[in-house]
Amino acid sequence: MSGETRPILVIGSLNMDLVARCERLPERGQTIMGSDFFTAAGGKGANQAVAAARLGGRVSMAGRVGRDAFAATLLAGLRDAGIDARHIERADSPTGTALITIDVTGANTIVVISGANMAVDAALADRALAGAGGPGILLLQHEIPPAANARAVQLARAADWFVTLNPAPARAIPPDLLAAIDLVTPNETEAAAIAGRPVASRADALAAARAVLDLGARAVLVTLGADGAIWCDRARALHCPAAAVAAVDTTAAGDAYIGALAASLAEQKPLEVCLGFAAAAAGLAVTRLGAQPSLATRAELEAFIASHGMPIAQTLTG
């Protein structure tokens, strides 16, 4: 470690995932038979928090849950991961849920019912940042109201936090807000929506990343599934390949990547090391079922890297 480990604060969503496995994903209007069903803790915010905490990050989280049994399960999972959950507050609406269907290749479809996540507000962002012991790394996503994210970005930027936004699901980001974010982390679909151009290849992803830079972002990381990820800032562009594994369930792969990246950035590791560490974490996650159940501990990830190697980021030209 090349310095003091910085704290990580996640302001975001918590969901209970209701997961069905089947041979293939149904077509519109079609009924198919599934092979099994299970529930698992999820929500992009909570997934990223757990991913970072299991890898040794000093993590706190702010969000909202309902007053139901799902809430108790989700809170217990955060605490088991060592996350400071003081700013997970109760709302009158039900805890968020996600309906997930997974086929035999690991591909999925997801329908999110936001519930209590939509009660996250600017005041909660104020309380969370005031008590997080920063400056550190702030992780945000698009599964809470835009006003809460905007307030968190503004406060964090003023207090010298490193601000990361995972723009999922995709929606427009105001230019003044984009300029205050250190790192935007879309997948290829989200990058295409933000940049306003198709992303069907690595070259397309790099072009889209540069277009998002032109819109005001300081750095962009586009995750590309089996083709790894592209990092682009105003000084350089890097491609880091994915770990070579057979996918079982791709749910939360992006969250595993972002949580691991945050944990490594918090340790102030070199960027190339952070990208390789994050790629390995995502690779391990897709070999397991479920969102948070798929997220590795530090010991598990180190064993995976010892066995499979760690992907190495390379400079992109062009």
Q: How many CA atoms lie within 13 A of 170 on its CB side?
A: 12
CA distance 19 to 189: 23
Decide if 255 is catalytic: yes
Beta bridge partners of 41: 16
Task: State the catalytic residue, choosing from 84, 182, 249, 255.
Answer: 255
- 96 C-beta neighbours (distance < 10 Å), count: 31
DSSP 83-143: -EEEEEEE-SSPPEEEEEEE-TTS-EEEEEE-GGGGG--HHHHHHHHHTS-SSSEEEEESS
Q: Long-range contacts made by residues 125-131, C-beta under 8 angstroms, separation at least 24?
A: 125/11, 125/62, 125/151, 125/152, 125/155, 126/151, 126/155, 127/62, 127/87, 128/9, 128/11, 128/60, 128/62, 128/87, 128/152, 129/9, 129/155, 129/156, 129/159, 129/161, 131/60, 131/86, 131/87
Buried b (16+ CB within 10 A) or exposed e, 44-77: bbbbbbbbbbbbbbbbbbbbbbbeeebbeebbeb
Decide if 273 contacts 264 (C-beta within 8 A).
yes
By annotation, the residues acting in catalysis are: 255
